[in-house]
Amino acid sequence: ALAYGLLGLPQVTLEIIFLSRILVGLTKQTMTASAALMTEMTAEGAERMCWIGRLSSAAQTAWISGQALGGLLNRGATWAPAVAAMVIYALDFALVRCALPGAPKQVKEAREGEQKAASGRSLMVAFASPVLARVVIVRLLEQFVAQAIHATRGLYELDRWSFTRAEIGYFSSFKALVGVFASWHLAGALARKFEIAPLLYGATGAMVASCLLEAVPGEAWLQAIDSSALARAAWSAVSRLLPEKLSLDPSLLVYCIACFPMSAASMQVMSITLRSRFTELVPKANTAAALSSLDVLQSVVGVAAPLVGGALYEGLSTTQTPLMS
């Protein structure tokens, strides 16, 4: 609330904006605390994966709605977004105080003692398990690949299909809805049916398949349709119901209904599965510290991945880009 209150001052300088962003960045620990609390309140396995996915889905939904609300408020007074943010944070504080479970005084004192005892330990103690180390490495590699691909994804889509600004907005909303669905429902449903290893193998295979399918150019799809009378009749019937851009380029239709949903859902499933597995392997007393350490490592990856992704995809054609992915 203080961070956004600073932005509502009559005269805002660059120094105040910088300070505000630092304060906002510090609140990222609330997500870490939420994940740690959820770890304590859920059983290992499918239940935890389900609720971690729902937490991620709720965060994505809040991000989408927050951007929409911010856009509306920015049309009015310059101080309106700052005041709205302060009110929302105050309500959030009240909700946390009233709704989240507390702990008896004795338990709080015991936890404080445990935290003080653990504070002097090296972070390597929490990551001493070889299995946990492998999970962390896979999680960081998965995020590295995802962010390296995402770094130039918007430019790739613009070059290949020549989206207008309105179409970019529609497609961004579609992407967000796919991510919310995958986080809220898909990960938990799959966790109830499959073990972690098959889930990760299946998600990786689905990502590779989506990239190979995406690499097929629109001309190849049109040639395949023209080679069969039945396919031509079916495409003629379907294309009448589609927007002009989708009807002219079947590769865009395949990307919208198959490639992107497959890759987005696979990334969400991998992320949630690995995060759930991470919380299972970390000692409960070190859960919050370990999650914070993982967040720091992921932030480092978030800085390096776009740089590497930009270099890897530089100069590639729209057909070569999916193959690189």
248 within 8 A of 280, measured Cβ to Cβ: no
**What is the extent of the structural domain holding 77?**
2-324
3-state helix, strand, coil in the chain (%, to 5): 80, 0, 20
Angle at 101 between CA 268 and CA 188, to 5 degrees: 20
SS3 per residue for 174-185:
HHHHHHHHHHHH
Residue 111 has pLDDT above 60, yes or no: no
Mean pLDDT across 122-144 = 76
Better-scored residue on pLDDT, 69 or 143: 143
45 within 8 A of 191, measured Cβ to Cβ: yes
Helix axes 80-99, 46-73, angle to 10 degrees: 150
Residue 125 has pLDDT above 70, yes or no: no
pLDDT (0 to 100) of residue 116: 47
Which residue type sits at 70? G
pLDDT tens figures, 156-170: 888 888 887 777 777
Residue 139 has pLDDT above 80, yes or no: yes
Percent of the chain clearing pLDDT 90 (strictly above): 2
CATH code: domain of residue 118: 1.20.1250
Distance CA 323, CA 311 (A): 15
pTM, rounded to two decimals: 0.73
Length of the chain: 325
Distance CA 236, CA 172 (A): 28
- SS3 for 283? coil
pLDDT (0 to 100) of residue 209: 92
Helix axes 260-281, 46-73, angle to 10 degrees: 120
pLDDT (0 to 100) of residue 28: 65
Residue 305 has pLDDT above 80, yes or no: yes
pLDDT tens figures, 34-54: 777 777 777 777 778 778 778
pLDDT tens figures, 251-302: 888 888 888 888 888 888 888 888 888 888 877 777 777 777 788 788 888 8
61 within 8 A of 182, measured Cβ to Cβ: no
Confidence of residue 126 (pLDDT cuts 50, 70, 90): low
Better-scored residue on pLDDT, 102 or 221: 221
Angle at 213 between CA 211 and CA 215, to 5 degrees: 70
pLDDT (0 to 100) of residue 119: 44
For the chain, how many helices (H) and strands (E)?
19, 0
pLDDT (0 to 100) of residue 42: 77
pLDDT (0 to 100) of residue 121: 53
pLDDT (0 to 100) of residue 43: 77
pLDDT tens figures, 173-209: 788 888 788 777 777 778 778 888 888 888 889 999 9
Mean pLDDT across 19-23 = 74
DSSP code string of 143-205: HHHHHHHHHTHHHHHHHHH---HHHHHHHHHHHHHHHHHIIIIIHHHHHTTS-HHHHHHHHHH
Task: Please state the domain count of the chain.
Answer: 1
57 within 8 A of 284, measured Cβ to Cβ: no
Mean pLDDT across 116-140 = 67
pLDDT (0 to 100) of residue 107: 46
Q: Which residues have C-beta within 8 Å of that of residue 160, sequence separation ≥ 6?
A: 251, 318
pLDDT (0 to 100) of residue 104: 52
Distance CA 153, CA 157 (A): 6
Average pLDDT score over the chain: 78
Mean pLDDT across 57-70 = 75
